[in-house]
Amino acid sequence: MFRRMLLTCAIAVIFGWSSAAYTCTNILVTRGASTDGSVMITYACDGEFLPHLRYEPAADHRPGEVIEIRGRDGKVRGTIPQVRHTFAVVGLMNEHQLVIGETTFEGRKELVNPDGLLHYWTLMRLALERARTAREAISVITRLVAKYGYASSGETFSIADPNEAWILEMVGTGTGGTGAIWVARRIPDGMISCHANRSRIGEVPMNDPACLHSDNVVSFAIAHGYWNPRSGRPFRFNIAYDPPSPQHIRYSDTRVWSIFRRAAPSLELTPDFALGRKGAHPYPLWVRPDHKLSAADVMSLMRDHYEGTELDMTKGVDAGPFGDPNRWRPIGWKVGDVQYTWERPISTQQTGFSFVSQSRSWLPDPVGGVLWYGVDDTYTTCYVPLYCGIDAVPPSFTRGDMQRFSWDSAWWVFNFVANIANLKYSYMIKDIQAVQRELEGTFLALEPAVDETAVELLKTNPGLARRYLTDYSVSHAEQAVHRWKALGEALLTKYNDGYVKDAKGRPREVGYPLGWLKRVVKERGDLYRVPAGPVRQP
């Protein structure tokens, strides 16, 4: 029976948390856009939850075996037939280097089908267990929903294998409906794409082999009044099935803009569309980066608070005296009758886990697929390499309880460091990044040697090769957690009570930045002003 749970943003749904948890970001990088020919995707799964990393071994199944699909109440809602063989899965990458991410865009509420059997997280797991390539994964997902019904709201999937990267977008057909409405676009080689909680696919080139779609993608929109073919406007999937609002665009498209403006600065893209300024045009589905991207470059793209732009979250009174980019929820608020919103960055303290994947066609599958995995905020995490050929995962990434702090849980260790940093962010972030660069730099530098050793072992002893990759992945991930624990203790010691200890351990008074003090004087200077002149005795 199917009793395993995939750790995605869906956890927020399973445990009944608010829809605010649907806040994820994905980047897709094709072979021709990467420095080494890797296909890469990223996934930041955001929400207040504690993920447990899983490994599921490959398995053979008996004829007639079924998978139970359960609802939030734990009751069985239906069953689907199991296949004869399922592939091994590490996190969200399978043994064939197939990897899947997602972001939820909700779309039209009336298209959610409560009678559909399969939610998007179940579809992701089934695709990883049953497909070898991105195209096969699209086929698995779309055939399953056609037969058993789609239960989620709008969803954008990133799907990659060693050769291709695809975006698949899907919505339901409403209460009592059947199947789903969907479209998939292959990202052209040499390009990168991204999505962030808003439907990204616009026009649907019907006769393009790099575009796949359901038969009803246009007819359903016409029948329900979502698009009028006599309007003179082309059919656009995202306009028909995820009609945008200014707040929706601000929330999502700022992230798309920031990824593209950093990867392709020559395009001189502005935030105008995301900010709702007149005459601005939507951002393209894909762009060509100015320079090919390495895994380290892609990790950097996932670390972003709009630094250096007019939206820079480390600036302004809202960043406090020490340039803290974190904004506590809710993201929107009112003063009088006016609605305001904080920016929604790629890096956020609410991230549960994230990854940067590499799928490499020139290497055997057990070595070619690497899931660079991290927990908590992308800005303050450390990505550790997990090869898809391993048969165990780091224990500290499988532990933890939201209701109880524990040094044995990687999630809590990284949260400890990130939360300590909020006390004196502009100081502490430099210490965090120094350790981050050291560890990730070492892991990236070791990758070619690890690859070469594992490939040689595969030729003579595949079992030993698997043991080698597992030991390397697990030990180095645990090394990172141990180092992060020491980092947290060092930060607490160095910055205790607002002081900053120098190289000899002596506490120094550093106070506040001058700009912040000027704001204090402007607002409350009369209270804090020290009278001039001598004190007169009565």
pLDDT digits (tens, 9 = 90+) for 360-414: 999 999 999 999 999 999 999 999 999 999 999 999 999 999 999 999 999 999 9
Give me the pLDDT at residue 538, please. Answer: 74
Give me the pLDDT at residue 14, please. Answer: 30
Give me the pLDDT at residue 11, please. Answer: 37
| C-beta of residue 477 within 8 angstroms of C-beta of residue 382 | no
| C-beta of residue 527 within 8 angstroms of C-beta of residue 521 | no
Mean pLDDT, residues 434-440 taken together: 98
Give me the pLDDT at residue 212, please. Answer: 98
Give me the pLDDT at residue 535, please. Answer: 76
* pTM attached to this predicted model: 0.95
Residue 126 vs residues 5, 6, 250, 296: alpha-carbon distances, Å: 11, 10, 33, 30
Would you report the helix, strand and coil content of the chain in percent, each value rounded to 5? 35, 20, 45
Q: How confident is the model at residue 22 (pLDDT cuts 50, 70, 90)?
A: low
Q: Is the dihedral of CA 49, 78, 136, 143 positive or negative?
A: negative
* Count of C-beta atoms within a 10 Å radius of residue 176: 9
For the chain, what is the largest distance between any 2 Cα atoms, rounded to a whole number of angstroms? 100
Residue 404: DSSP 8-state: B
Percent of the chain topping pLDDT 90: 92
Residue 21: pLDDT above 60?
A: no
Q: How confident is the model at residue 15 (pLDDT cuts 50, 70, 90)?
A: very low
Give me the pLDDT at residue 169, please. Answer: 98
* Count of C-beta atoms within a 10 Å radius of residue 169: 25
Rounded to whole angstroms, how far apart are CA atoms 312 and 343? Answer: 9
Closest CA to 401 of 119, 20, 15: 15
List, for residues 59-118, the tens digit of each pLDDT value.
Answer: 999 999 999 998 878 889 999 999 999 999 999 999 999 999 999 998 999 999 999 999
Residue 527: pLDDT above 90?
A: yes
Provide the CA 312 distance to its chain's centre, in angstroms. Answer: 20
| C-beta of residue 100 within 8 angstroms of C-beta of residue 137 | yes
Give me the pLDDT at residue 102, please. Answer: 98
Burial class from Cβ neighbours inside 10 Å (0-12, 13-18, 19+) for residue 444 reads: middle
Cα dihedral value 437, 442, 447, 453, nearest 10: -170
Q: Which residues contact 95 (CB under 8 A, 6 or more apart)?
A: 58, 87, 88, 89, 365, 366, 369, 388, 389
Percent of the chain topping pLDDT 70: 96
Q: How confident is the model at residue 16 (pLDDT cuts 50, 70, 90)?
A: very low
| C-beta of residue 101 within 8 angstroms of C-beta of residue 93 | no
Provide the CA 34 distance to its chain's centre, in angstroms. Answer: 19
Mean pLDDT, residues 478-483 taken together: 98
Q: Token digits for 491? A: 């930060």
- Mean pLDDT (the chain, rounded): 94
